[in-house]
Amino acid sequence: MNLDMITIRRIVTHVEDIHHEFGPPAATPLRRGAIAAVLTNPFAGRYVDEIVPMMDALQPVGIEMAQRLRAAMDVPVERIESYGKGAIVGAAGELEHGALWHVPGGYAMRELLGWKGDRSAYAQGKASAAPTGQPGNALAIVPSTKKVGGPGAALDVPLTHINAAYVRSHFDAMEVRVPGAPAADEIVFILVMSTGARVHARVGGLKAADIAQWNGLR
């Protein structure tokens, strides 16, 4: 693990309580949180073919960010119902640098929320066959988006249910941006989590209460 690749310049947390959106106020407000870490991009300004070592080096960053986000949201892990992740790469970098976040960002949150799978098998694309019964938590893929952008660029980070990607009430997104970042030689890595459905969700589809297949989808 090459920790020399990791230089964290800045960390921003954002937590919001949504009481209503002009409909009946929620008995318990929806709480959504985002954490953005601004890192130096060790590959800025040139084409580097071998970038995968940074994926491993990012693992402790993902774990620290997931824990800090949960702490900032001030709710027990059992209350986290949806998640997402993203990256904004500064102008001297490449979209592919943002893709380094998929495994370390996603699995840091999944493990925090009680996922019992094999991270290295997933990283190599060797996921095990669909199980039955609830074999743990955070079974669903962590949705993501990424872009190359300038300082203050906004990223709409998608959110979906942690156990079943098709739960319609939990399809959501959070706009995340860090004023002043990313500079050309920086990358902003982002995690988002939420305690529930959209505040006035009412367009049908699969409900969280009806998840039955425990395959990450339905």
Partner 1 sequence: MVAKIRKLIVEVDETRIEAGKAIDPPTRKALAMAVIENPCAGRYVENLDELIAIGEDLGGLLGDKCVQALGIAPGAAHSYGKAAIVGEAGELEHAAAILHPKLGAPLRKAVEKGAALVPSAKKRGGLGTAIDVPLGHKDAAFVRSHFDAMEARVSDAPRANEIVVAVVVTDSGRPLPRIGGLQVSEIKGEDGLR
From candidates 1, 2, 3, 19, binder to partner 1 by CB under 8 A = 19
From candidates 9, 28, 118, 150, binder to partner 1 by CB under 8 A = 9
* Stretch touching partner 1 by CB under 8 A, among 3-11, 78-86, 95-103, 164-172: 3-11
Q: In degrees, to the nearest 5, what angle opens at C-alpha 201 toward C-alphas 172 and 65?
A: 35
Cα dihedral 116, 218, 74, 192 sign: positive
Q: How far is the CB of 10 from partner 1 (least distance, A)?
A: 5
Q: Which of residues 154-193 bind partner 1 (CB under 8 A)?
A: 154, 175, 177-179
Cβ 136 vs Cβ 110: under 8 Å: no
From candidates 1, 2, 3, 16, binder to partner 1 by CB under 8 A = 16
Using rule CB under 8 A, residue 26 touches partner 1:
no
What is the C-alpha to C-alpha distance for residues 140 and 174, in angstroms, rounded to an integer?
A: 18
Q: Which of residues 78-117 bind partner 1 (CB under 8 A)?
A: none
* 3-class secondary structure, 101: helix
Of the two residues 100 and 157, which places its CB atom closer to partner 1 in the complex? 157
Q: How far is the CB of 116 from partner 1 (least distance, A)?
A: 32
| CA distances from residue 90 to 4, 22, 145, 149, 212 in whole angstroms, order as listed | 19, 37, 15, 6, 42
For 52-111, where are the E strands, in sequence order? 82-89
Residues in contact with partner 1 by CB under 8 A are 7-22, 29, 40, 72, 152, 154, 175, 177-179
